[in-house]
Amino acid sequence: MPDMSIIVPIYNAEKYIDRCLTSLLTQTKKELEFILINDGSTDDTEKKILKYKDHRIKYFRNKNQGIGKTRNFGIQKATGKYIMFLDSDDYLEEDACEVLYQKAEQEDLDLVLCDYYQIQNGLSKIEKLPSFKNTTLKKMPTLLKSVNLSPWNKLYKSTLLSKHHIRFIEDLKYEDAPFVVDSLLYAKKVGKVEKPLINYVMHQNSETTIRDERIFDILRIIDLIRKKWKKESYLKEDLDKLTIRMITNYTIQQRNQKDPKIAMKFIDEAFSYMKKEIPDYKKNKYYESRSFLQRNIEKNKGLSKLYCLFYHFFWN
């Protein structure tokens, strides 16, 4: 059994796959397996993958199913004691697996987080998560709103995922969030490596930066998280802050919405949801961390609409 399984969902990644795979194959830790899942690519991705001859590679070619189903397929195929996720356009620092594995093993952790490099337009900057000693979410519920909800800068013990059947939501966008929230909540011990180990690459005009009609999925995702966990009284304050953070983030991102009509409709629905779930949301302490201008725009539906329309027509 390998120490770690690294799951890589791949779709039309011919421009980036060499860099990604090279970062895997040159890891200082060798007891690894790489679960490469081609999710119906239509470019030369497969031709590039098949050039690599390494016994640790397990390659699967599926019809296009979307990233949630693809990652779940990878979890089924993984045999490692720990599981990690890597997107095909991202890449690892050469000691990433060794550092994360040692941290998990030596300190008996179910979940290990790390800082990461965010790369955009050729520029790299370190994104640091909050520092903390090994803990649980019950002891430190502020983690819920202070860590990123992406799965790729984290190492998961396989038994954590199997025991609690933690899987990605399928057929919805933003499927990452419930997976990470569930992992944080079920983990008996969470730790952090104080070092950036992942290179997260942001592309111009990517799904990360451009919004479309699938934006409404985020409200369904938030609702799934709240319905599952809002009965936990110790989580109420931080679950509300997380809800406001997510809704505010995606509301303001409507400045990049392709269709302004969709943007205005989403802002209406987002504020309606927030008012229904958190009637006194304007008094929430989340806004204390925002600047005077930010919090006044973010609390007000009309100002949010004006901001997004102004940005869309004058800066896009």
DSSP letter string, 287-299: GGGS-HHHHHHHH
Across the range 169-181, mean pLDDT stands at: 95
Percentage of the chain beyond pLDDT 90 is: 91
Strand pairing of 190-202 and 91-92? antiparallel
- E strands, 21-101, are 32-39, 57-62, 82-85, 91-92
| pLDDT score of 206 more than 80 | no
Question: 151: burial class by Cβ within 10 Å (0-12, 13-18, 19+)?
Answer: buried
Q: pLDDT, tens digit, for every residue of 33-67?
A: 999 999 999 999 999 999 999 999 999 999 999 99
Per-residue pLDDT band at 258 (split at 50, 70, 90) = confident
Task: List CB contacts of 86: < 8 A, sequence separation 6 or more.
Answer: 6, 7, 8, 20, 24, 92, 152, 198
Per-residue pLDDT band at 205 (split at 50, 70, 90) = low
**Distance between CA atoms of 155 and 175, rounded to whole angstroms?**
18
Q: What are the start-end ranges of the H helices in 122-216?
A: 143-146, 158-163, 176-186
**Distance between CA atoms of 303 and 271, rounded to whole angstroms?**
12
**Distance between CA atoms of 100 and 7, rounded to whole angstroms?**
15
pLDDT at 97: 98
φ and ψ at residue 13, rounded to 5 degrees: -115, 30
Across the range 153-172, mean pLDDT stands at: 97
φ and ψ at residue 40, rounded to 5 degrees: 75, 35
| pLDDT score of 172 more than 90 | yes
3-state secondary structure of 11: coil
Across the range 305-311, mean pLDDT stands at: 93
pLDDT at 207: 52
Q: Are the beta carbons of 7 and 84 closer than 8 angstroms?
A: yes
Please give the torsion angle defined by the CA atoms of residues 225, 226, 227 and 231, in that order, rounded to the nearest 10 degrees: 120
Q: What is the mean pLDDT of the chain?
A: 95
Across the range 245-265, mean pLDDT stands at: 94
Q: pLDDT, tens digit, for every residue of 113-135?
A: 999 999 998 899 999 999 999 99
Helix (H), strand (E) at residue 111: strand 111-120
Q: Which CATH architecture has domain 4-202?
A: Alpha-Beta Complex (3.90)
pLDDT at 100: 98
**Distance between CA atoms of 316 and 313, rounded to whole angstroms?**
6
Per-residue pLDDT band at 316 (split at 50, 70, 90) = low
**Distance between CA atoms of 223 and 104, rounded to whole angstroms?**
32
Across the range 124-150, mean pLDDT stands at: 95
Q: pLDDT, tens digit, for every residue of 2-23?
A: 999 999 999 999 999 999 999 9
Across the range 62-91, mean pLDDT stands at: 97
Give the predicted TM-score (pTM) of the model: 0.94
Across the range 142-148, mean pLDDT stands at: 93
**What is the residue extent of each domain of the chain?**
4-202, 213-314
pLDDT at 210: 56
pLDDT at 213: 86
Across the range 226-247, mean pLDDT stands at: 95
